[in-house]
Amino acid sequence: MLEKYDSYKKEFAHLEKELASPDIVSNPEKLKEISKKHGELKEIIAAFEKVKNLENDIRASRDMLEKEDNQEMRDFFADEIIDTEGHLEKAEKELETLLIPKDPNDVKNVILEIRAGTGGDEAALFAGDLFRMYCRYAERRGWKISVMSSNVTGIEGIKEMIAKIEGDEVYRYLKFESGVHRVQRVPETESQGRIHTSAATVAVMPEAEEVDIEIAPGDIRVDVFRSSGPGGQSVNTTDSAVRITHIPSGMVVSCQDEKSQLKNKDKAMSILRSRLLAQKQDEEARKRSDLRKSQIGSGDRSEKIRTYNYPQDRVTDHRISFTAHNLPEIMNGKLDDIISALQKASQQKALENL
């Protein structure tokens, strides 16, 4: 720990010199980057020094205790040691948390994709329920959610929904939601009261900026066509829908929700960039097994992560064996307990890797 403290102090001193450099001051992007790192290191060093000061206080109290003959004073120093040890334990946990490498994507907005899986109409209804759950959670956090592409059924269900969620640290809170969500309940169309099992897949991707993923003009093919879904007066009468094919990967993205061809193209490019970034991160993660082991689940869409059991009023997250018996509230967007438990479990795994 002491070696780490010394290396952080050296790096902090180096950053302070850079912040005073005219070259850095005149470069807003570089200044922002270094200022952020400087602030993070300042917090870590303060946490190190707090731990060291508490350790020194304990040593001093123990020395005084050994030298003291007065019983009343001995009791005072003994209580002081116990109290300071409690503060030290808390300070050490805070320091460990600060030492966990930060995910640079945590501050990003996200692209949320929900698709109906096995289960026919019931799966589409469940996909719709999941989308409404995330919408309500976004509202609770003060985030903005906007639909980018949709394919809905006539029974308030969703075959596919792609939306952007914007706000403060959206990816940090939603990044563990990727995977297969399973529902067990009696469908409204079931006359004999039999429980059906259906599923929907969720993918949460950090929104990629152009600087994150560079797409060469020659790497994409753009096709325009007439929108086929329900819409406004001109949606189905003009070639406003856009299909973009990323030639190197074969990835295809279509958008037709907007009346404007340009807006549909912008949305499709945003989705494409985010998918390519997610693909790139998955490939990098597979190469680094240590990172995979530090994650809560793989984030793979094929992984069954959660079951929503309506007859038993139970929601179970299989990755961390978390169970809650307040299913209606959870479906109404009260996801804080589940997300908090996932964040803590991820943090614990990261600490074990340290």
How many residues does the structure list for the chain? 354
CATH 3.30.70.1660: which residues of the chain?
A: 105-211+291-353
Architecture of domain 2-99: Up-down Bundle (1.20)
**In this predicted model, what pLDDT tens digit does every residue of 327-338 receive, in sequence order?**
999 999 999 999
Q: What is the pTM of this model?
A: 0.73
**In this predicted model, what pLDDT tens digit does every residue of 181-228 receive, in sequence order?**
999 999 876 767 789 999 999 999 999 877 678 898 899 999 998 876
Quick check: 248 and 261 in contact, CB under 8 A?
A: no
Residues with Cβ within 8 Å of 274's Cβ and at least 6 positions away in sequence, in order, are 111, 205, 206, 207, 208
What's the confidence (pLDDT) of residue 118? 86
Fold of 217-285: Double Stranded RNA Binding Domain (3.30.160)
Mean pLDDT of the chain: 88
CATH class of the region 105-211+291-353? alpha beta
Residue 237 has pLDDT above 90, yes or no: no
Burial class (CB in 10 A: 0-12, 13-18, 19+), 236: middle
What's the confidence (pLDDT) of residue 295? 47
Q: Which residues pair with 162 in a beta bridge?
A: 113, 149
CATH 3.30.160.20: which residues of the chain?
A: 217-285
What's the confidence (pLDDT) of residue 99? 86
Q: Left, alpha or beta for 179 (phi > 0: left; psi -120 to 50: alpha)?
A: left
Written as one letter, the residue type at 162 is: I
Nearest to 317 by CA among 182, 128, 122, 124: 182
Quick check: 200 and 181 in contact, CB under 8 A?
A: yes
Q: Which residues pair with 144 in a beta bridge?
A: 166
> Taking the mean position of all CA atoms in its chain, how far away is CA 346?
11
266-280 in b/e burial notation, b at 16+ Cβ within 10 A? ebbbbbbbbbbbbee
Nearest to 47 by CA among 92, 102, 101, 100: 92
What's the confidence (pLDDT) of residue 302? 61
Q: Which residue has the higher pLDDT, 183 or 236?
A: 183
What's the confidence (pLDDT) of residue 292? 43
